[in-house]
Structure 1
Amino acid sequence: MLNFRIYIDSSAEDRLAIFLSTLSVTNRTPEYYVNWEKVERETKQFELELHTLNYLIGKTNIYDEALRLFSKQPELLRAIPTLIASRDKILDILSINDQDEMSFDQLNFTKIDTLRIQDYVDFVEQAGLLDFLQSKANRSLVDYVYGVEAGLDSNARKNRSGTTMEGILERHVAKICQELSLEYKAQATAPFIKENWGITVPVDKSERRFDVAVYSKHRHKLWLIETNYYGGGGSKLKAVAGEFTELSQFVVASPDDVEFVWVTDGQGWKTAHLPLSEAFGHIPNVFNLEMLKQSFLFNLFQ
């Protein structure tokens, strides 16, 4: 069992040792892996076009069929980037002929150029999509795109850890605030805090949004909480530690009673001992998920 008071009263070096020894293995909840709402939204965007493109599945003379179909209904081409798993809708293309001569082209799949339908069809053929439709696709293209979108969504996972931490933190804070009769605001700005709680928050940049702000009306006190998660190491961790060290110094310079809290976790921090050590020298309230589990935030607010 971790003890909040012992942790807070320990030296920066001892707090760092406790922090590193209690880092979590992961923050990946089941929802982390696929954002199904986004997958469905992106798929439905071209559902009508995809149903129409089912016409091409299994066609023998598919190039001519595609040319005729897109000439009659050029807007169907808007669905092509999704079918080839591309988020980009304006594609820059390099072509190399049999003599190794290179040429560059650009096709806009948002605003279809009806004078270049054959160029679009040539691209679709060279990208292998016509062959897929002719000899490999045997189901609805809507079902196929669901799979494509699920795969594309996996690329967003590297950005999802931070969002996951924000969700975990907000749920945790909401429960504590209800118990202790405190107020809180997610993505709080300095103007919001001044207008609603009458507390001045010095910030390093005007558009700064704090992940969670917690306010005690009884004590006229504010806690500003930032959160992130780093499962892997890298040079970025040094910059992150420096950024939050500077941010903490900014906010605690307030003429009002303001504390800075940093909730971070991940095995990546074991590769950034020195910059993290410097951060611990300036920020007393650095907690990880295990510490949240052990009621450190509850004790801090209490």
Structure 2
Amino acid sequence: MDFNNYIGLESDDRLNAFMATLSVTNRTPEYYVNWEKVERETRKFELELNTLNYLIGKEDIYSEALELFTNQPELLKAIPSLIASRDTSLDILNIDENDDMSFEQLNFLVIDENCIADYVDFINQAGLLDFLQNKAKRSLVDYVYGVEAGIDSNARKNRSGTTMEGILERTVSKIAQEKGLEWKPQATASFIKSQWDIEVPVDKSKRRFDAAVYSRALNKVWLIETNYYGGGGSKLKAVAGEFTELSQFVKTSKDNVEFVWVTDGQGWKFSRLPLAEAFGHIDNVFNLTMLKEGFLSDLFEKEI
């Protein structure tokens, strides 16, 4: 199906065509680990970690650790990375043998040198001293490298959106160059007004559109939002409602403004009803297959 056939369909038929061409994934090889970030986070404490190698295999490791941190308290700044925490200030619940609970806070960014024993007690109770004494066999820099790769995997859900933004930006950039259009990633309403003198009504004062494309010949702006959902959930209903509302805001502009939504993912199979409602209000809803087939280029070409 080409763009003209698709855009001329009734909303239910457009939805069916959209659902039939959803992609299996948008995960490029770069999705899995951001090695640049892993390297950066590991190198932050490379000196401290190399010094802490001293504790590996020590017999009386509690006393050794207490002495080491007393003499070099700044080494404690590396501890959160060893226990896979991005937080530098940790709130801790302690439960004693009588099940009495108490709370404390340990700041690993600004070390309290009067509480070194408290830090060491925490490190011990967290199992880190046992690891250093009995299980660590190699450099702690190498160990933290692996920890950071694991922590980075938690950011994968955010990378799906980043991947879609990258795909959109590359696609728009190419089309804009071919057709003599202007464009801006992460465009705000204020930028569009000041740069192109186009009024864009928005639902949020800080709204940033993933891309805005401007035709000087038509004095027209296309506003593009993109996302990807590999799994279902209540968020998809909220997103469909948000973009439906946003498209209605955009239509109230006194200027020539058109809204475009590029979305994809198998998650939409579990949220067909809210997506169907969005299709009833938003004319330009495309997926990755449609981008590949040149639908976005055809949309801009339609009036140029």
TM range (shorter): over 0.9
Runs of 4+ aligned residues of structure 1 deviating over 4 Å after TM superposition are: none
1:152: which partner in 2?
Answer: 151
Instruction: Write out per-residue CA displacement over residues 185-240 of structure 1, whole angstroms, 9 at most, x where no aligned residue.
Output: 00000111111111111111111100000111121111000000111111111111
* Letter matched to residue 119 of structure 1: D
**Alpha-carbon distance, 1:60 to partner:** 1.5
Which amino acid is the alignment partner of residue 98 of structure 1?
A: E
Alignment partner, residue 272 of structure 2: 273
Q: 2 CA distance for matches of 1:11 and 1:59?
A: 73
CA distance in 1, matches of 2:19, 2:275: 10
CA deviation digits over 1:99-152, x for unaligned, max 9?
A: 222222211111111111001001111111111111211111111111000000
- Match for 1:47: what amino acid? E
Give secondary structure in 1 for the equivalent of 2:277: helix
Q: Is 1:40 aligned to residue 48 of structure 2? A: no
The 1-side partners of 2:297 and 2:45 are apart by 47
- The separation in 2 between residues aligned to 1:118 and 1:13, in whole angstroms, is 67
Segments of 5+ residues of structure 2 without an aligned counterpart are: none
Note if 1:75 corresponds to 2:74: yes
Identity of aligned residues (%): 74
> 1:49 maps to what in 2?
48
Q: Which residue of 2 aligns with 1:129?
A: 128
Aligned pair 1:182/2:181, yes or no?
yes
- Alignment partner, residue 228 of structure 1: 227
Aligned residue number for residue 262 of structure 2: 263
Structure 1 residue 63 displacement after superposition:
0.8
Deviations 1:7-28 (A, max 9, x none): 0000000000000111011111
Normalised TM-score (structure 2) = 0.97
| Matching of residue 93 in structure 1 with residue 87 in structure 2 | no
Q: RMSD of aligned C-alpha atoms?
A: 0.9
Deviation at 1:77, TM superposition (A): 0.4
Structure 2 counterpart SS, 1:259: strand
> Which residue does the alignment assign to 1:62?
61
Q: Distance in 1 between matches of 2:225 and 2:287?
A: 12
Q: Distance in 1 between matches of 2:38 and 2:250?
A: 39
Alignment partner of 1:148: what SS? Answer: helix
The one-character-per-residue Cα deviations of 1:252-296 (angstroms, maximum 9, x if unpaired) are 211111110000001111111111111001100000000001100
| In 1: Cα distance, 2:106 partner to 2:167 partner | 42
SS at structure 1 position matched to 2:280: helix
The Cα of 1:59 is off from its aligned counterpart by 1.3
Whole-angstrom distance in 2 between the partners of 1:167 and 1:189: 18
